[in-house]
Structure 1
Amino acid sequence: MTVHFIGAGPGAADLITVRGQRLLADSPVCLYAGSLVPTELLSVCPPGARLIDTARLTLDEIIAEMVTAHSAGQDVARLHSGDPSVFSAVAEQMRRLDLAGVPYAVVPGVPAFAAAAASLGRELTVPEVAQTVILTRTAERATAMPPGEDLATLGASRATMILHLAVQRIDAVVADLLPSYGPQCPVAVVARASRPDELIVRGTLADIAERVKAAGVRRTAVIVVGAALTAAQFPDSHLYSAGRCRS
């Protein structure tokens, strides 16, 4: 028996991986976050599968379901939105499963920031413009940020910055990033990336807060900040240069 932590993708049901879909179809127990995982994915589950919405369950209750399935010799598909490697609360589940002696495996998924970049039609790393991507969040209504990971400190690099779980604090985000990035730095907010009701709000640090409020974006959004969003004048990558290909 194995608990499969499966990245369900950013929202579109067809963005789950082939491996993830296969495991989902083979697991008699499925735990999913009803508020984030597309319900269309549940149709892949085998007939008679036990489907458990974890949206209102505590960590202890979630682990208890996994341990019960383990005792019955049943594989578990644990669906997480996006990719399990970032902001998924998988680490504490793994820690509890280790203590309980329950085996698990991880299946990666398409992260929300990748879906947002696809919707924006932009590469986040552009030659001589931006070669670093920072994935972060803010601390309101969540665990505290570690020392040195506040936005003002991270922003000093002027790297492409992706903020999850932060759109409700857009004013504070702007205030923290303005000193390093400047008011004309491009910003895009992608709400519900890849879903039918996806919404994109574009602007700069000078006006993005008001644009986001006017659009009514309050949750399930990714904030992208950095010059890569609008870069047009930059050298071609060395990857396909004539000198490299002929050497």
Structure 2
Amino acid sequence: MVHFVGAGSGAVDLITVRGLNLLKNADVIIYAGSLVNKELLNYKKDDCVTYDSATMTLEQVIDVIKETEKKNQTTVRLHTGDPSIYGAIREQMDELDRLFISYQYCPGVSSFCGAASALNLEYTLPDVSQTVILTRMAGRTPVPEKESIEKLAAHQATMVIFLSTGMLKELTNRLLLGGYKEDTPAAIVYKATWPDEKKFVCTVKTLEQTARENDIKQTALIIVGDVLNCDYRRSDLYHPDFETQFRKARGNV
């Protein structure tokens, strides 16, 4: 059996209980060494074999899994955050399907959740934004034209932008082209939930300057939207005049 496990956003104790139990019982761990907190490997069995996938190709990862399966052992494929977001897990699963190797997927805490916790931020505020767009700039990995930053920015929703810290000048231009104003609130969160986490609140116009002044070049998320600094309407859910299946409205008591 192969278990795809989300390691969480960085802090060791943000892996799920299920994920930690799988890690403790694995015979082989293939971990994304460039991003996963290596302290998680302290939980492995003494005889567990580990591989750093930062130095491996897909074919090499699959070869290790095949050898582990021949021994009737268990593999944990440890990905950063939640594997469903920029985790390149579909191609691994397709290969395992082709080889008739069973697998399961254990979700994790994504870095966009970690960034919200760093900022004490709610991405969805009434009358401000009820939509969160997770995206990235086109780089060596292209992005479909219909998902360009400027087209997504036109929605004026909350945006969380991955893998784009090294392209902030172009990102700013595209955000402005899409309709955000220069003074729209923005934030940079570096290594969310890690011990060396850093966070900076700025504006769309000052994104590049803020990153440059603080020597932030990678491993950061960019958040854009009025939820970072705005007035909002309180939630209906806990309003005394709002009736739910669990609580009568104040006027009906």
| Shorter-chain TM-score range | over 0.9
Cα drift, residue 241 of structure 1: 1.3
Return the letter of the residue paired with 1:191.
Y
- Give the equivalent residue in structure 1 for 2:229: 230
Match of 2:176 among 175, 178, 184: 178
- Give the equivalent residue in structure 2 for 1:242: 240
Is 1:148 aligned to residue 146 of structure 2?
A: yes
Cα drift, residue 18 of structure 1: 0.2
Is 1:88 aligned to residue 90 of structure 2?
A: no
- Give the equivalent residue in structure 1 for 2:202: 203
- Give the equivalent residue in structure 1 for 2:38: 39
Output the CA distance in 2 between the equivalents of 1:47 and 1:221.
34
Q: Provide Cα deviations, 1:148-200, integer angstroms capped at 9, x if missing partner.
A: 10001111000000000001001111000013111010000101000111111
Output the CA distance in 2 between the equivalents of 1:181 and 1:108.
33
Output the CA distance in 2 between the equivalents of 1:207 and 1:242.
41
- Give the equivalent residue in structure 2 for 1:107: 106
Return the letter of the residue paired with 1:167.
T
Matching of residues 164-175 of structure 1 within 5 Å: 164-175=162-173
Output the CA distance in 1 between the equivalents of 2:90 and 2:144.
16
Output the CA distance in 1 between the equivalents of 2:188 and 2:14.
20
Structure 1 unaligned residues grouped into runs of 5+? none
Cα drift, residue 234 of structure 1: 1.4
Return the letter of the residue paired with 1:171.
K
Return the letter of the residue paired with 1:87.
Y
Output the CA distance in 2 between the equivalents of 1:238 and 1:66.
50
Q: Provide Cα deviations, 1:53-82, integer angstroms capped at 9, x if missing partner.
A: 111101100111111111111111110000
Is 1:157 aligned to residue 155 of structure 2?
A: yes
Which TM-score applies when normalising by structure 2? 0.94
Secondary structure of the 2:237 match is: helix
Output the CA distance in 1 between the equivalents of 2:222 and 2:65.
34
Secondary structure of the 1:246 match is: coil
Secondary structure of the 1:48 match is: coil
- Give the equivalent residue in structure 2 for 1:123: 122
Work out the number of aligned pairs and report it.
244
Output the CA distance in 1 between the equivalents of 2:38 and 2:217.
22
- Give the equivalent residue in structure 1 for 2:97: 98
Output the CA distance in 2 between the equivalents of 1:206 and 1:34.
34
Return the letter of the residue paired with 2:44.
C
Cα drift, residue 147 of structure 1: 3.1
Output the CA distance in 1 between the equivalents of 2:210 and 2:144.
30
- Give the equivalent residue in structure 2 for 1:71: 70
Return the letter of the residue paired with 2:248.
R
Output the CA distance in 2 between the equivalents of 1:117 and 1:175.
24
Greater C-alpha radius of gyration: 2
Cα RMSD for the two superposed structures: 0.9
Output the CA distance in 2 between the equivalents of 1:90 and 1:139.
20
Output the CA distance in 2 between the equivalents of 1:66 and 1:155.
41
Percent of aligned pairs with the same amino acid: 39
Structure 2 unaligned residues grouped into runs of 5+? none
Output the CA distance in 2 between the equivalents of 1:207 and 1:141.
25
Cα drift, residue 229 of structure 1: 0.7
